[in-house]
Structures are given as structure tokens and as C-alpha cells.
Amino acid sequence: MTAPNIIKPKFSSRNMRKVTNQTLSLLAECLRDGDGIIDIGCGNGYALWQIEERCNCSEVVGTDIVDIRRAPVPEFFLYDGRHIPVEDNRFDIAMLNFVLHHLPNDEKGALIEEARRVSKRCLFILEDTPMNSMDRFFSRRHGEAYRDYIGNDGVGFGFYTKEEWEQLFEEMGFKGETSRRLGRFSRQW
């Protein structure tokens, strides 16, 4: 499926360019030449567009529950938000970038397990973790606006703290994995 209404790809804002570059700077730690990669909940597609432009990947795939792409994604398909219709271990890397806070809290673990199922080597999760009352306010407003946009009622959704994420990951059996807090200005490609 090709991206809708894309003539010449460009970032929608300087901030979107910065966030994309920050995401790629963190992904670089696990990215290898020839990797196959899927971005689950790829949203606007900027991360995949830049991976395709900058990296030597064998396969670059995006999926989401709605098609809101603003950048070209080499391969894209819609999915139901629960089951990703691909075989086990198809991709070297499965990414969940800023997507889990859009899921009901009781479904976050199931999507992480599904991402784990389709990845061979690396499950890359990047998520907002509000650190103070202003962060929580803006994060909540962002979540509400997005859920309105996609037509979801938003019951039981939320942003987890670093400790809540770590507890979920521990309950899911992740051991020896990296979880770290990042400053707003610390990540660059």
C-alpha cells in the first residue's frame, strides 16, 4: 500500500525532524546492515522513511491501525491492533515507538508479546515517561487528542512511569534488558 497524498516527502515540522533523529540515534545501537525491521504503530512514517534513506536494511515495513502516513514507507499494511499478520521471527528488529501509551493499559503487554513474536533479535521500545506535573498534563492532552482523532474512547489509557514500565517488563520475563531515562536534548543521530 502506498502512502496517501505524498508528492515530495518532507518533515511536517522541525520538532518532528528532531524527534525522528533522536529515535534513530537510539535505534542505531541495535541496527545492523541487512536487518529487516518493522515499525508497529508507525504513525506518520517518518522513522521508517529515514531508516530507508540512511540504512542498509533488507526489509522496511510499517503497520498501524489507521493510515496517517505523511512520509513514504516502503511496505505498509493495516492491522487490527492485536495480531500482526506475519510469521514468527520474520524481522530482526520490531519497533514500538511512542505507541504503547495509546493502548488500553490492560492491552500493552499483549502488543509487546506480539512484537516479541515477530522479532528475531531486538525488540526496541521507545516511550514517553512523564517526569513532572507539566509533562503529565501535556502527555494526557496529547493522548486524548490522538484517541479523539482515531475514534477511541480512551478508557483505561495512560502513560506509565519508568518504574511502571520496568515492572511490566519484569512481569513479562524480560531480563538483562536496558531501560533508561533520556533527557529531552540528549539524543542525536
* Residue-level pLDDT at 91: 98
Contacts of 123 (CB under 8 A, 6+ apart): 93, 94, 96, 112, 115, 116
% of the chain at pLDDT higher than 70: 83
Which tens digit of pLDDT belongs to each residue from 89-118?
999 999 999 899 888 888 899 999 999 999
DSSP 8-state assignment for residue 101: G
Helix (H, G, I), strand (E, B) or coil at 142: helix
Which tens digit of pLDDT belongs to each residue from 135-154?
778 777 777 777 776 666 65
* Residue-level pLDDT at 114: 97
Cell of 51: 531508516
Helix (H, G, I), strand (E, B) or coil at 78: strand
27 touches 124 (CB < 8 A): yes
CA distances from 96 to 7, 77, 122, 125, 168 (A): 27, 16, 11, 5, 15
Asked if pLDDT for residue 179 goes beyond 90, the answer is no
CA distance 74 to 20: 17
Handedness of CA 75, 80, 81, 86 (dihedral sign): negative
Q: What are phi and psi of 75, to 5 degrees?
A: -140, 135
Asked if pLDDT for residue 15 goes beyond 70, the answer is yes
* Residue-level pLDDT at 187: 41
Which tens digit of pLDDT belongs to each residue from 120-136?
999 999 987 777 778 77
Confidence (pTM): 0.84
Asked if pLDDT for residue 175 goes beyond 80, the answer is no
